[in-house]
Amino acid sequence: MCKHGKEMKVLVACEESQVVTKAFRKLGIEAFSCDIQECSGGHPEWHIKGCAVEEAYSGKYELMIAHPPCTFMSKAGARWMYPVAGIVSRDRYFKAIEAKDLFLKFLDAPIKYIAVENPVPLKIVGLPIHSQVIQPYEYGHEFSKKTLLWLKGLPKLASTEIISEYKPYLPSNTGGKKRGQKYQFKSISQKESSKTFIGIAEAMAGQWGKYVK
């Protein structure tokens, strides 16, 4: 039950890995992942394959955590947005605006408690100001990967275990390799690299699950 006397249901929108969904389920909270892809997390019975916007507007959920696609909005993609210094790629810009539209549909969904997660966006996309910046190394992982949260009705996520020695999870994409970036990156697919860190998922489930309950 949530604090408003309703059975508590959580939607984890745009999640195929089920990392966050499983963290909520571990605490006995009914959570569902929703993605246009099949789930890879091993629990198809907790997965809704389809458009997460429809689920977000269905009126079934008290809490939603959304991980909308960031490829065209992210600052890490600056060199594709500006292939020639100072000149915007029209194609890339229109894709970014499409992604922004999806992002805002999640942020504006009729759900009392909302967290939308994304990396640092390009200024030109004009996303609203975020509520908080988090890093995997604040949640027990030895990596940095700057992650922004846009929160509605939820308190900021508190760090759980700060690791003082950490390395970047992903290359900077700004020519670091050519400049002799010291750290050797493991080669991982885009799908793999966009999975939520378990420490962050557990913090979300533990802290926000308790808050909404």
Ligand X SMILES: C[S@@+](CC[C@H](N)C(=O)[O-])C[C@H]1O[C@@H](n2cnc3c(N)ncnc32)[C@H](O)[C@@H]1O
As measured in angstroms, the least distance from the Cβ of 85 to ligand X is: 28
Residues paired with 49 in a beta bridge: 35
Question: 2, 8, 19, 125: which one contacts ligand X (CB under 6 A)?
Answer: 19
Residues in the chain: 213
Closest alpha carbon to 139 in 149, 130, 129, 131:
149
Binding flag, residue 74, ligand X (CB under 6 A): no
Rounded CA gap, 101 and 124, in Å?
A: 14
Question: 2, 11, 53, 56: which one contacts ligand X (CB under 6 A)?
Answer: 53
Rounded CA gap, 152 and 130, in Å?
A: 11
Closer to ligand X by Cβ: residue 37 or 174: 37
As measured in angstroms, the least distance from the Cβ of 38 to ligand X is: 10
Site string for ligand X, 86-125 (x = CB under 6 A): ----------------------------------------
Q: 108-137: b or e for each residue (b if 16 or more CB lie within 10 Å)?
A: ebebebbbbbbbbbbeebebeebbeebbbb
Site for ligand X in 33-52 (CB under 6 A): 34-37, 51-52
As measured in angstroms, the least distance from the Cβ of 68 to ligand X is: 6
The answer to whether the beta carbons of residues 98 and 46 sit under 8 Å apart is no
Question: 10, 11, 14, 114: which one contacts ligand X (CB under 6 A)?
Answer: 14
As measured in angstroms, the least distance from the Cβ of 208 to ligand X is: 16
Rounded CA gap, 168 and 171, in Å?
A: 7
As measured in angstroms, the least distance from the Cβ of 164 to ligand X is: 26
Question: 23, 148, 196, 202: which one contacts ligand X (CB under 6 A)?
Answer: 196
Closer to ligand X by Cβ: residue 53 or 149: 53
Rounded CA gap, 84 and 88, in Å?
A: 8
| Piece of 8-16, 21-29, 129-137, 157-165 that binds ligand X (CB under 6 A) | 8-16
Q: Give ∠ CA 28-36-10 in degrees, rounded to 5.
A: 25
The answer to whether the beta carbons of residues 160 and 200 sit under 8 Å apart is no
Binding site for ligand X (CB under 6 A): 14-17, 19, 34-37, 51-53, 67, 69-70, 194-196
